[in-house]
Amino acid sequence: MTSTPVHIREEPADAAPHAPTGGGPGRPAGRRIRDWLTAFAFTVPALVLFGALVLLPILFALYASLFNWGGFNMPSDFTGLGNFTKLIKDPVFLGDLWRGFLLIAFSIVVQLPFALAMAVMLNQKLRGRAVYRMLFFAPYVLSEVITGVLFSMIFAPDEGLADRLLGKIGLDGVGGLWFADPHTVLPTLFLVMTWKYFGFHMMLYLAGLQGIPPELHEAARIDGAGAWQRFRHITLPLLGPTVRISVFLAVIGAIQLFDLVWIITAGGPDHASETLAISMFQYGFKRYQVGYGMAISVAIFLISLAFALLYQRFVMRRDTEGALTTMRGAAR
C-alpha cells in the first residue's frame, strides 16, 4: 500500500483504456478482432469461475430459500416466502439485526476514532514508531481462532487474567462474568474486536496520512493554525476517502462477523451475542433446516448489497466517480 485513495481523482480522465489496448481507430480490422479474441480468451475463464463459484451459489440460495429443505436431494417442499415470513417474526433474527446495528455503531463511534488517533500519533516523528506500528498491527495478523481462545482465557470468570488483574489493583468488584453474562457479553466482545481490528484501520489511516503533502501543514502553521485546527481543516478532509473506505470495511465486517464469536461464545449465553452469520450456520449445519438457513443468507446478502449500493451512491460517490467504470487508478 504505497499509494492512497487520495490520488484516485488526480488521474487524467483519458488515461484509462476503454477497450483492450492497441484497439485504436487507426488499426486494421483483423488486428482489432484478434485483440478482442485475446480479451475474450483472458476474461472467459474468470467469468466462468465467477459464474460457477459466485453467481450460481447466490441464485441457488435464492431458489432454495423458498423451500422447506433439509439439505439432501433436491429441494421439493415449496413454501414460497414462508421462510421469510417466519424470519421476520423470529426473535433471534430480529435480535441479530439489533446486535449487528450495535456493533456497527460501536465500530464507527469508538473503534475508528481510536484507530485514527493512534494513526495521527504514530505519524509524528517519534522514537521507535516502526515498532509501535508493528505492535498495534500484530493483532490483526493473528488468526481469529487463536484470538478467540486467548480471550476466553483472559476473560474467564474469577480465574482469568482480567479478573485477577482487577483484583490485584484493588478493583475486585469491577470485573465480572464477561462473556458468561448476557448483559456484558456484547461489550466484552466489542473490546476484543477493537483490539483485533483497530490496527488494520490504523494502517489504512497511516497510509492516507502519508499522502497528505507536508507543505499544507507548514503553510497552515505559518498562518498560525493550532494542532487541532490543522487536524480539523487539513488532515480530516484530505483523509476523507480513506475514512469512507474504512467505515465501509468496518460495516461489512460487522455484518459478516462469525469466527471470533463462534469460538468465544458460539452466540451465547442464550443468543445474547449471536450474529446473522451464526444464526445462518446454526440453522444450516446444526439443525439441517437448510432452506431456512438459506433465507438468512439471502437476508445477509440483501442487507450487504443494499448497504454497499447506497453507500457507494451517496457516500463514496466522489471517491469512486469514474473509477468503477474505467478502473482508473487501479494500476496504482
Partner 1 sequence: MRPLGDTSLTRRRFLAASAAGLGAAALSACGSSDDGKGSGSTTIEWWNITTTQPAKKIWAARAREFEAKNPGVKVKIVTLENEAYKSKMTALTASGKLPDIYHTWGGGVLEQQIDAGLVEDLTSKIAPWSGGFVPASVSAYQFESKTYAVPFDIGAVGFWYNKALFTRAGITTPPTTWAGYLDAVKKLKAAGITPIGLAGKEKWPGMYYWAYLAMRTAGLDAMRKAADSKDFTGPGFVQAGEHLKDLVGLQPFQTGFLGAGYSTPGGQAASVGNGKAAMELMGQWAPSVEASSGKGLGKNLGFFSFPTVDGGAGKLTEVFGGGGGHAVRKGAPQAAVDFLKFFADTEFDKKLVKETGLIPVVKAAGTALVDPNLKAVSTAINESTGFQLYLDQAYAPAVGQEINDSVAALMGGTKSPEAVAKSITQVAKSQ
Q: Which residues bind partner 1 (CB under 8 A)?
A: 34, 37-38, 41, 45, 68, 71-73, 152-153, 156-160, 177-182, 185, 265-266, 268-271, 282, 286-289
Measured from the CB atom, the residue of 173 and 214 that comes closer to partner 1 is 173
CA distance 60 to 73: 14
Report, in Å, the least distance between residue 275 CB and partner 1.
16
Measured from the CB atom, the residue of 158 and 218 that comes closer to partner 1 is 158
Helices (H), the chain: 29-50, 56-64, 82-87, 91-106, 112-122, 129-141, 144-154, 161-168, 185-210, 214-222, 227-230, 236-238, 240-255, 259-264, 276-281, 290-310, 317-320, 323-326
Measured from the CB atom, the residue of 136 and 283 that comes closer to partner 1 is 283
Measured from the CB atom, the residue of 218 and 270 that comes closer to partner 1 is 270
Measured from the CB atom, the residue of 73 and 124 that comes closer to partner 1 is 73
Measured from the CB atom, the residue of 31 and 233 that comes closer to partner 1 is 31
> Using omega within 30 degrees of 0 as the cis cutoff, is the peptide bond preceding 139 cis?
no
- DSSP-derived secondary structure letter, 52: I
Report, in Å, the least distance between residue 16 CB and partner 1.
25
Report, in Å, the least distance between residue 247 CB and partner 1.
31
CA distance 129 to 160: 32
Check if the beta carbon of residue 275 is closer than 8 Å to that of residue 267: yes
Report, in Å, the least distance between residue 288 CB and partner 1.
5
The β-bridge partners of 211 are none
Report, in Å, the least distance between residue 38 CB and partner 1.
7
Measured from the CB atom, the residue of 4 and 83 that comes closer to partner 1 is 83
Check if the beta carbon of residue 5 is closer than 8 Å to that of residue 319: yes
Report, in Å, the least distance between residue 254 CB and partner 1.
22
Measured from the CB atom, the residue of 20 and 240 that comes closer to partner 1 is 20
Burial letters for 58-75: b for 16+ Cβ neighbours within 10 Å, e otherwise?
eeebeebbbbbbeeeeeb
Report, in Å, the least distance between residue 1 CB and partner 1.
33
Report, in Å, the least distance between residue 160 CB and partner 1.
8
Site of grid cell 441479530: 96
- DSSP-derived secondary structure letter, 150: H
How many CA within 13 A on the CB side of residue 323?
20
Measured from the CB atom, the residue of 177 and 315 that comes closer to partner 1 is 177
Report, in Å, the least distance between residue 84 CB and partner 1.
15
12 C-beta neighbours (distance < 10 Å), count: 7
Q: CA of 69: how far to CAs of 52, 107, 124, 164, 285, in Å? A: 22, 36, 58, 49, 12
Q: Which residues contact 210 (CB under 8 A, 6 or more apart)?
A: 4, 123
**Backbone φ, ψ for residue 78 (5° rounding):** -75, 130
